[in-house]
Amino acid sequence: MNILLSLRPQLISRSPFVKRSLRRYSGFTKPVTSQLPTIYALSTPANQTSAIAIIRISGTHSKYIYNQLVNSNEAPPIRKAILRNIYSPPSISPRRPHCQEAAKVLLDSSLLLYFQAPQSFTGEDVLELHVHGGKAVVYGILKAIESLHDRNSGKDIRFALPGDFSRRAFQNGKFDLTQLEGIKDLIDSETESQRRSALSSFNGENKVLFGNWRKTIIESMAQLTAIIDFADDNSQELDNTDMIFHDVENNIKCLREEIVTFMQKVRKSIILQDGIKLVLLGAPNVGKSSLVNSLTNDDISIVSDIPGTTRDSVDAIININGYKVIICDTAGIRDKSADKIEILGIERARKKSIQSDLCLFIVDPTNFPKLVPEDILAHLSSDSFRDKRIVIVVNKSDLVSNDEIVRAVCKLRTKVGMKYSIVNVSCKTKEGIEPLIGILTENFKHLSQSSADSNPVIVSKRVSEILRNDVLYGLEEFLSSKDFDNDIVMATENLKYASDGIAKITGQAVGIEEILDSVFSKFCIGK
Ligand SMILES: Nc1nc2c(ncn2[C@@H]2O[C@H](COP(=O)(O)OP(=O)(O)OP(=O)(O)O)[C@@H](O)[C@H]2O)c(=O)[nH]1
Number of C-beta neighbours around residue 234 at 10 A: 8
Long-range contacts at 406-414 (CB < 8 A, ≥ 24 apart): 407/368, 408/363, 408/365, 408/368, 408/371, 411/368, 411/369, 411/371, 411/372, 412/363, 412/371, 412/372
Number of C-beta neighbours around residue 85 at 10 A: 14
Closest C-alpha residue for ligand 1 atom 32: 396
pLDDT at 229: 64
Q: CB of 82 closer than 6 A to ligand 1?
A: no
Please check whether residues 240 and 380 belong to one and the same domain. Answer: no
Please check whether residues 209 and 165 belong to one and the same domain. Answer: no
| 316 CA distance to ligand 1 middle (Å) | 19
Q: What are phi and psi of 133, to 5 degrees?
A: -85, 20
Which residues touch 150 (CB under 8 Å, ≥6 apart)?
none
| 305 CA distance to ligand 1 middle (Å) | 6
2 assigned to some structural domain: no
Please check whether residues 339 and 485 belong to one and the same domain. Answer: no
Whose CA is closest to 440, among 339, 351, 353, 357? 357
433 assigned to some structural domain: yes
In angstroms, the Cα distances linking 99 to 71, 102, 472, 516 are 15, 5, 67, 46
Please check whether residues 443 and 506 belong to one and the same domain. Answer: no
Lateral strand order in the sheet of 358-363: 314-320, 323-329, 276-282, 358-363, 389-394, 421-424
Range of the structural domain that residue 506 is part of:
200-272+460-512
pLDDT at 74: 94
- The DSSP line for 453-519 is TPPP----HHHHHHIIIIIIHHHHHHHH-TTTTT-HHHHHHHHHHHHHHHHHHHT-STTTHHHHHHH
**Burial grade of 497 (CB within 10 A; 0-12, 13-18, 19 or more):** middle
Whose CA is closest to 460, among 175, 180, 110? 180
Please check whether residues 210 and 327 belong to one and the same domain. Answer: no
Please check whether residues 216 and 162 belong to one and the same domain. Answer: no
Please check whether residues 128 and 230 belong to one and the same domain. Answer: no
Q: CB of 433 closer than 6 A to ligand 1?
A: no
Query: Rounded CA gap, 512 and 503, in Å?
Result: 9
Query: Ligand 1 atom closest to Cα of 293?
Result: 15
Q: CB of 440 closer than 6 A to ligand 1?
A: no
Number of C-beta neighbours around residue 270 at 10 A: 16
Closest C-alpha residue for ligand 1 atom 7: 287
Q: Are 423 and 441 in contact (CB under 8 A)?
A: no
Q: CB of 22 closer than 6 A to ligand 1?
A: no
* Local mean pLDDT, 10-residue blocks, the chain (527 residues): 35 40 50 93 90 96 96 95 92 52 79 96 97 94 95 94 93 90 85 79 86 92 75 58 85 95 85 89 92 86 73 84 90 75 84 92 90 84 86 95 91 85 95 96 84 68 91 93 70 90 82 59 68
192 assigned to some structural domain: no
Q: CB of 330 closer than 6 A to ligand 1?
A: no
Burial 99-127 (b: 16+ CB within 10 A, else e): eeebbebebbebebbbbbbbebbbbbbbb
Query: Rounded CA gap, 178 and 137, in Å?
Result: 36
Q: CB of 310 closer than 6 A to ligand 1?
A: yes
| 285 CA distance to ligand 1 middle (Å) | 5
Please check whether residues 410 and 495 belong to one and the same domain. Answer: no
Domain count, the chain: 3
Please check whether residues 86 and 108 belong to one and the same domain. Answer: yes
Please check whether residues 268 and 322 belong to one and the same domain. Answer: no
517 assigned to some structural domain: no
pLDDT at 230: 62
Mutate to test the pocket of ligand 1, among 280, 281, 289, 300 (most ligand atoms within 8 A of CB): 289
| 395 CA distance to ligand 1 middle (Å) | 9
> What CATH number does the domain containing 486 carry?
1.20.120.430
Please check whether residues 429 and 490 belong to one and the same domain. Answer: no
pLDDT at 358: 95
Query: Mutual orientation of helices 288-296 and 433-448 as an angle, nearest 10°?
Result: 80
Please check whether residues 358 and 383 belong to one and the same domain. Answer: yes
Q: CB of 293 closer than 6 A to ligand 1?
A: no
pLDDT at 37: 96
> What CATH number does the domain containing 167 carry?
3.30.1360.120
State the DSSP H helix or E strand holding residue 38, giving kind and residue range, or none if neither: strand 38-42
Query: Rounded CA gap, 3 and 209, in Å?
Result: 24
Q: What is the DSSP letter of 428?
A: T
pLDDT at 300: 74
